[in-house]
Structure 1
Amino acid sequence: MLALCALPLCLLGAAPAAAAPRAEITRSAHGIPNIKAKNFEGLGYGYGYSFAQDNICIAADMYVTVRAQRSRFFGAGKDYEFEGNGAIVNNLNSDFFYQRIIDKQTVDELIARKPPQGPLPKVRDGVRGYVKGYNAYLDDVGRNGITDPACKGERWVRKIEPIDAYRRFYQLALLASQGVAINEIATAAPPTPSLLGSAAMSAAQRNAAAISGDERAMVSELADKLPLGGIGSNAYGLGKQATQNGSGMVLANPHFPWDGSERFYQSHLTIPGKLNVSGASLFGVPLVLIGHTERLAWSHTVSTAFRFTPFELTLVPGAPNTYLVDGQPRQMETDEVTVRIPRPGPGAQELNRTLYSTEYGPMINGILGLPLFPWTPVVGYAMGDVNAANFRYLNHFFETNQAQTTGKLTRILKRNVGIPWVNTIAADSRGRALYADIGAVPNVPTAKATSCSGVLGVVTRQALGLPVLDGARSECNWDTDPDSLQPGTFGPSKMPLLRRDDYVTNSNDSYWLSNPEQPLEGFARIIGDERTERSLRTRLGLRIIQQRLDGTDGRPGKGFTRGLLQDAVFNNRQYAGELWRDPLVRACRSNPTMLGSNGPVDVAEACTALAGWNVRDNVDSAGAVLFRRFASRALAAPGGLPLDPGLPGTSPFATPFSLGDPVNTPSGLKGSSLSVQRAFADAVSDLRRSGIPLDAELGEYSYELRGKQRIPIHGGPGGLGVFNAISNGYVPGKGFPDVEHGSSFVMVTSFSKNGACPDDRSILTYSQSANPRSEFFADQTRMYSKKRWNDPPFCAGEVEREAVDVTRLGPNGAR
């Protein structure tokens, strides 16, 4: 069919003339839209309209980005944060990056492919409807009718086309690959002629040399920033052996940004007799990414698998845009890219830049602002990106929105292998739990990563698991398996998968201990590490489950109920505190004066404050601020970077990691260690300088501002073993204002064996709308502060009974 239609129409998802879309939007408590339509186009229509109602300014901003127009509207010299991965991106660099995608018709070509590589018909229908709904809202209110002051009346708020929506999807697909190198792709250029005769090291000399201290420090910093700038998640899939009613249960607890375009938007989508799904998705994605159907619930956590590999290129001397493969020279591809920026007075100025790419991918000069991969006269680096050709993830999620069993979900995973950067955790009403890290991953077996790495690759592999491959040898390119869905990727048979009747879990460590009773081993290192120390948050998550199954957590009975699972995530246990508080108190009482970085510090008062702390990060937990300031220091190397467990003498733990007991080790505290005592003394001095009481309650200093309201925030750093992870950096004198990322859309879904309506509770911690004029701007944030949950309607009759407002959309919007 594709060859018989005009290409632009095919690319935009054109279809034979059909009835104009219609939808019904029933808002229930806290602004959640329950959208009902007769088909996928109508469903997208209602979604686009309701999403625009709540978040038009952030949405319009993200479409300015993927249209390569940030310099035009916001200034070429300004930066923005790509909140989903923590990258700080210059507007002009961003425009060059996305303009090349537009010029090369990268997205157009991907969506022109037939399924499974290209979108399914229902995906095209849904996207077409979404665009019509978004535009219908703008038709209804106009720019000047927007109530959000961030974009009211602004010229950059414009209608969109289907290709804009698809480019947003592509932006999200690249989040953990090219998205971490937008500046570095847009500015990568060969060295100037004056440098071509310099005595730069050849690739062979480079690989014979030792890595420099600066490079090693950059690798350590990169380990802290990848894959998504510290963003993570928790998820439980509980099977029939782990629940009191013998059916399945899921905890979804993504830790995503509280601001910007990578927030979640909650919805309930229904096509009677065809689809009934509730949950949340990232901004601009008109379906449910994390949620539940009548009999299946699922969530995702950020995976350890890398979705890209740098390729080290041996360049031809005197010709730095020519590289060698098997001794034969190959010319880099050049793209002349033009963007328009404002100039003083009328008109616009055109800026031109040449961007470079190779058979492996685009040239880079670093990642996330770190110049670890410089382009010298004789060595350069290209980024191979597995998601640059992956649009299968849309099909995966549209199909998942109709799935009812973990078996069906497994087949969807294997059929598409399209998940771009997350694990999948699920459970169904039959009581079967599922874990999988099946998605798009470069096919680099561990043996190849070893044989094809130079000196830099050895260090990045050891520190991160990231191979830097020798681009001068064709044998070092990615492999393809017999069951690979995409050339250069692993087939599903070589990726982690676990089905259990008790439980599976993930908290952003690798697949290895998804269930300690059945460790997953033997997979390529690029997917994840095995037989290594797990994070404190992972370990606490496993302990919470095991203690509940054993009945040793202080609650009655064994096994989970929906309420007990809610409590598990919001009881705010802090595992570092459980391990360290008591030995730290003993050390403090034995040494009431400790040596800090600036001299002796009287810590006697701090001993009392610490002893009274309840080892939780609740808003009323007195002493939590003090311990947090201590532990963040104790777990950091002198330069502020995370500790390298392999460096002797640096760990504050008294008992080292043991492969025989990976859930409970390392443990204890070296209370007599001078570095531990210095960390505590400095924490005490820090709070005294800031005027913060040593026994301050957490909620007085951990908060989110909503207008003039200061809302106390519970939860804490995942790195300290707080399961309910909240990242809000410390500001001297203020404490921990404004959450960067952490618990966002939290959902607990329980099923029953008799097929009754799912028992579901959820909270969108930062609320549905980013518009400060909306009644849904802070309502759920206040609920989260008080550990309250929403009970969203789902089954027959519930939506009508709980309706707060109903909007019926016809061909001309709500008019």
Structure 2
Amino acid sequence: MDVQMINRSVYIVAAGLFLSACGGSSSTSSAAPDTISDGSVYQATIRRGELGMVHVTASDYTGIGYGYSYAFAEDNICTIADVYVTVSGERSKYFGPDASWDMVGNGTTNNNLNSDFFFKLINAEQRVEKLMAQAPPLGPLPEARDLVKGYVAGYNRYLRDVGVANLPDPACRGAEWVRPITELDVYRRFYQLALLGSSAVAIDGIGSAQPPGPDSLTASMASPALIAEQLGQAWEGIQIGSNAIALGSEATANGKGMLLGNPHFPWDGAERFHQAHMTIPGTLDTTGSALFGVPMILIGHTENMAWSHTVSSAWRFTPYQLTLVPGDPTSYLVDGQPEAMVAQPLNVELPDGSLASRTLYSTRWGPMLNEILGLPVFPWTPAVAFALGDANALNFRYLNHFVETNRAQSVRELLAIMERNQGIPWVNTIAADSSGEALYADISVTPNVSNEKALECASPLGLVTANTLGLPVLDGSRAACAWDDDADAVQPGIIGPDNMPSLIRRDYVTNSNDSYWLANPDEPLEGFFRIIGDERTERRMRTRIGLLMTKQRIDGSDGLSGAKFSRQQLQELLFNNRHMAAELWLDDLLQLCAVTPGMIGAGGPVQTTEACAVLANWTRRDDLDAPGALLFRRFVANLFISDVPTGTAASSFGFADVWTTPFDVNDPVNTPSGLNIANPHVQYALASAISDLQGNNIPLDASLRQYVTESRGEVKIPIHGGPGSYGLFNAMSSTWSNSEEGYNDVVHGASFVQVVSFDNDDCPDTQTILTYSQSANSESPYFADQTQMYSRKEWVAGRFCEAAVVADASLSTIEISE
């Protein structure tokens, strides 16, 4: 073990080296202090293991934050420094007002100037400062405050040690926008993440919302049906998803709990995971992953409990339609009385030092907006306008939730933490423990709008969206249309835990981003408000394949030996790359091939004989060396496209017409099924798939290995798995290049994957893979190592117990203090 001691007088000067070759004397003790005295002492031991795994040990939470942020900055300083520019409203100053940035976690692209005004509004209203000032449970627990204090000290210590001019990542080396941070910066990042599923999908729409001028004509809105359709398509398009399976004692070979966590998060940007192990002897011992900028384990395990998350189907916001006072577009009527909007003048600094000025407006319901998800469907006219009510606008409780979860030892303890804090902002929770219990819960921050209120208070648009999407658009001209209060809710206006779905079982629970309804098909969860999710409706193919594979393994009908799960079999379930669409459709498609050797698609007429032979021999799995997988992927992609040339038989296609057996609420896992080969769009989709490959000089029997890749420098890494919307449990979403390159670079998909089982000792048996690797720095040794392992279907053995940590041959250690 390489042990180093570093104090304030020792600087790391070699850019690009990670926790290495900077020895020197130090006056600090190698043992952590027993107490932190008035915030002036920070101390942590940082051990760096194989593949960049970070183990931080300290005597208190301040030390954990200190050590973790130092190690995290080594790996990802440029990405997180960019975030601090964003939440300060300074992107225009450093990157120009006309440029844009992507919040990949919710699929939005945001203009820098609009983004700056959005965050300047939050900062001018001191929303974060007000939340910071509150006592728990509404404000942060002392442990959370200590983590932030230490995080700031560790981050700034790293910048002092290395120097901005010597940063290891060329993406921000020497950049003026990389600076020391404050606690407020860190809390602003927390707030940004809380809003990811709500206000952050309307950054452009809030940051650019302006009242109409005096000569403006009343604009007509699109029809409610069209707006609802556009919103539904846009919202579905950003549901990047996740899978999780929690197994109880009745589903595992050893009678203990077991968990598969498989979040499908972005492979680039700030919504990535960073892997770490945090230990305070006698107080905290947890490992897993944290989102960038958050010094807590958000997905992981303790000694006796493992948990993961999937994006919930619940809505976190409701638009309010305002009736404006005639002649005054910044005043609105509530119960017939005029109410002035709150005007907030704001300035944004530009690259030349000049200021851009804009006044944004807020109402009792929330800030004004004019678009969402890039859709200009909420116009601000002289008569009508819209404001956005956001349930997470008052939520810092998720910090307390994770502080407590990082110590929890059972799913029942975890459930109590959820019920007490009510801070989960936009995800479901799935967990298992060593006693053999499995938990599903969607106890998350959701506006308290009953089905009755959603209709009674609906605006004309809301009458459609509440029924079709579950999204209430409420009448802001009536005070009675405010969100209701639940007696057991910590925060006014949200649904209390007694009215949110949860389930504990000893066989299994799962979720793959459909609603709570079929967490376990043997015990459907029903009777909840539509704003949380839908019930008794068709499930996505990814949900269905997950339920099928889980049930088949438990009862032994999957063709494998025995019944119930071993840890190894749970790993293999994820990477078996079964393709639900192929299992449902391919036999029928081959029947079509047998009788139709020629078809017409987007590229004109094609012969299908060779393509059909390839599909007939395909394994129906999206493995790297499975000829037919690429061709079938293009078939499904074209089947999902509805904008085919008008005047053709295929142009009348509706996706509901693809099935031969419709959805049956009494058999929701196996229906709908069958491919309707009489639908002309099916022929069109297959012919177009053939043209896609032939037109780009890609062989019809091409495998994924050459044509679905992730670029890391000059290296192209083959990526197995495929689109979750096509029924791939191992969801990987890449961009079709429409060239001989095939599919280039993963947008989102499997990210921090963990399989945790509990055996008869005190050390959980864990296997993980951080698919995109630990560092975003292209010059880091941890930039592509785990990505290569993922490509080979390899896993990393967990090192949770001390004996496993010290057995790591690549382990190096430093101790930092100040």
8 Å CA contact 1:85–1:227 kept in 2: the answer is: no
TM-superposed deviation, 1:462: 3.0
The one-letter code sitting in structure 1 at the alignment partner of 2:777 is N
Unpaired runs of 5+ residues, structure 1, are: 1-14, 641-645
- Match among 140, 144, 165 for residue 144 of structure 1: 165
- Match among 453, 456, 461 for residue 461 of structure 2: 456
Closer/same/farther in 2, CA of residues 278 and 19 from structure 1, 3 Å limit: same
Deviations 1:593-614 (A, max 9, x none): 1232454321111111111111
- Match among 668, 693, 697 for residue 691 of structure 1: 697
Which residue number in structure 2 is paired with residue 799 of structure 1? 805
TM-superposed deviation, 1:17: 1.2
In structure 1, how many angstroms separate the alpha carbons of the residues matched to 2:610 and 2:91? 53
TM-superposed deviation, 1:100: 1.7
8 Å CA contact 1:290–1:299 kept in 2: the answer is: yes
Secondary structure, counterpart of 2:116 in structure 1: helix
The one-letter code sitting in structure 2 at the alignment partner of 1:555 is L
8 Å CA contact 1:637–1:650 kept in 2: the answer is: no
In structure 2, how many angstroms separate the alpha carbons of the residues matched to 1:104 and 1:16? 34
- Match among 311, 317, 328 for residue 308 of structure 1: 317
Closer/same/farther in 2, CA of residues 489 and 381 from structure 1, 3 Å limit: same
In structure 2, how many angstroms separate the alpha carbons of the residues matched to 1:61 and 1:227? 28
TM-superposed deviation, 1:83: 1.1
In structure 2, how many angstroms separate the alpha carbons of the residues matched to 1:797 and 1:184? 53
TM-superposed deviation, 1:350: 1.3
The one-letter code sitting in structure 1 at the alignment partner of 2:526 is E
The one-letter code sitting in structure 2 at the alignment partner of 1:99 is K
Which residue number in structure 2 is paired with residue 790 of structure 1? 796
- Is 1:172 the equivalent of 2:193? yes
User: Superposition pairs for residues 502-581 of structure 1, below 5 Å?
Assistant: 502-581=507-586
Deviations 1:741-767 (A, max 9, x none): 000000000012x34310000000000
- Match among 240, 265, 274 for residue 249 of structure 2: 240
Secondary structure, counterpart of 2:271 in structure 1: coil
Which residue number in structure 2 is paired with residue 738 of structure 1? 745
Deviations 1:16-40 (A, max 9, x none): 7145111111111100101111100
The one-letter code sitting in structure 2 at the alignment partner of 1:758 is P
Deviations 1:430-471 (A, max 9, x none): 000000000110000011111111331122223321110011
In structure 2, how many angstroms separate the alpha carbons of the residues matched to 1:742 and 1:60? 24
Deviations 1:89-128 (A, max 9, x none): 0111111111122222110110100000000000000110
User: Superposition pairs for residues 193-204 of structure 1, below 5 Å?
Assistant: 193-195=214-216, 198=217
TM-score (norm 1): 0.93
Which residue number in structure 1 is paired with residue 385 of structure 2? 380
In structure 2, how many angstroms separate the alpha carbons of the residues matched to 1:617 and 1:219? 34
Secondary structure, counterpart of 2:797 in structure 1: coil
Which residue number in structure 1 is paired with residue 400 of structure 2? 395
TM-superposed deviation, 1:418: 0.5
In structure 1, how many angstroms separate the alpha carbons of the residues matched to 2:603 and 2:81? 50
TM-superposed deviation, 1:473: 1.2
User: Superposition pairs for residues 90-129 of structure 1, below 5 Å?
Assistant: 90-129=111-150
- Is 1:48 the equivalent of 2:57? no
Secondary structure, counterpart of 1:769 in structure 2: coil
- Is 1:370 the equivalent of 2:379? no
8 Å CA contact 1:176–1:228 kept in 2: the answer is: no
In structure 2, how many angstroms separate the alpha carbons of the residues matched to 1:78 and 1:387? 28
In structure 1, how many angstroms separate the alpha carbons of the residues matched to 2:66 and 2:45? 10
The one-letter code sitting in structure 2 at the alignment partner of 1:287 is M
TM-superposed deviation, 1:227: 6.9
Which residue number in structure 2 is paired with residue 255 of structure 1? 264
Closer/same/farther in 2, CA of residues 166 and 365 from structure 1, 3 Å limit: same
Which residue number in structure 2 is paired with residue 776 of structure 1? 782
In structure 2, how many angstroms separate the alpha carbons of the residues matched to 1:806 and 1:22? 17
- Match among 433, 437, 445 for residue 432 of structure 1: 437
Which residue number in structure 2 is paired with residue 12 of structure 1? none
The one-letter code sitting in structure 1 at the alignment partner of 2:664 is S
The one-letter code sitting in structure 2 at the alignment partner of 1:462 is N
Closer/same/farther in 2, CA of residues 482 and 294 from structure 1, 3 Å limit: same
Q: RMSD of aligned C-alpha atoms?
A: 1.6
The one-letter code sitting in structure 1 at the alignment partner of 2:314 is A
- Match among 644, 652, 656 for residue 658 of structure 2: 652
In structure 1, how many angstroms separate the alpha carbons of the residues matched to 2:484 and 2:642? 38
Secondary structure, counterpart of 1:533 in structure 2: coil
Higher deviation after alignment, 326-335 or 216-225: 216-225
In structure 1, how many angstroms separate the alpha carbons of the residues matched to 2:678 and 2:147? 62
- Is 1:274 the equivalent of 2:283? yes
The one-letter code sitting in structure 2 at the alignment partner of 1:738 is D
- Is 1:25 the equivalent of 2:46? yes
8 Å CA contact 1:111–1:118 kept in 2: the answer is: yes
- Is 1:224 the equivalent of 2:229? no
Closer/same/farther in 2, CA of residues 278 and 122 from structure 1, 3 Å limit: same
TM-superposed deviation, 1:225: 3.2
User: Superposition pairs for residues 682-721 of structure 1, below 5 Å?
Assistant: 682-721=688-727
User: Superposition pairs for residues 307-346 of structure 1, below 5 Å?
Assistant: 307-343=316-352
TM-superposed deviation, 1:476: 1.2
In structure 2, how many angstroms separate the alpha carbons of the residues matched to 1:751 and 1:636? 45
Closer/same/farther in 2, CA of residues 728 and 399 from structure 1, 3 Å limit: same
Deviations 1:323-370 (A, max 9, x none): 111111111111001111122xxxx10111000110000001010110
TM-superposed deviation, 1:737: 0.6
Which residue number in structure 2 is paired with residue 809 of structure 1? 815
In structure 1, how many angstroms separate the alpha carbons of the residues matched to 2:742 and 2:355? 46
8 Å CA contact 1:224–1:230 kept in 2: the answer is: no
- Match among 288, 291, 306 for residue 300 of structure 2: 291
The one-letter code sitting in structure 2 at the alignment partner of 1:244 is A
TM-superposed deviation, 1:687: 1.1
In structure 2, how many angstroms separate the alpha carbons of the residues matched to 1:104 and 1:703? 45
TM-superposed deviation, 1:425: 0.3
TM-superposed deviation, 1:199: 5.2
Secondary structure, counterpart of 1:125 in structure 2: helix
The one-letter code sitting in structure 2 at the alignment partner of 1:113 is Q
Closer/same/farther in 2, CA of residues 714 and 200 from structure 1, 3 Å limit: closer
TM-superposed deviation, 1:811: 2.7
Which residue number in structure 2 is paired with residue 613 of structure 1? 618
- Match among 659, 684, 700 for residue 678 of structure 1: 684
Closer/same/farther in 2, CA of residues 632 and 412 from structure 1, 3 Å limit: same
TM-superposed deviation, 1:635: 2.9
Unpaired runs of 5+ residues, structure 2, are: 1-35, 646-651
TM-score (norm 2): 0.93
In structure 1, how many angstroms separate the alpha carbons of the residues matched to 2:578 and 2:605? 32
Closer/same/farther in 2, CA of residues 199 and 760 from structure 1, 3 Å limit: closer
Higher deviation after alignment, 171-180 or 445-454: 445-454
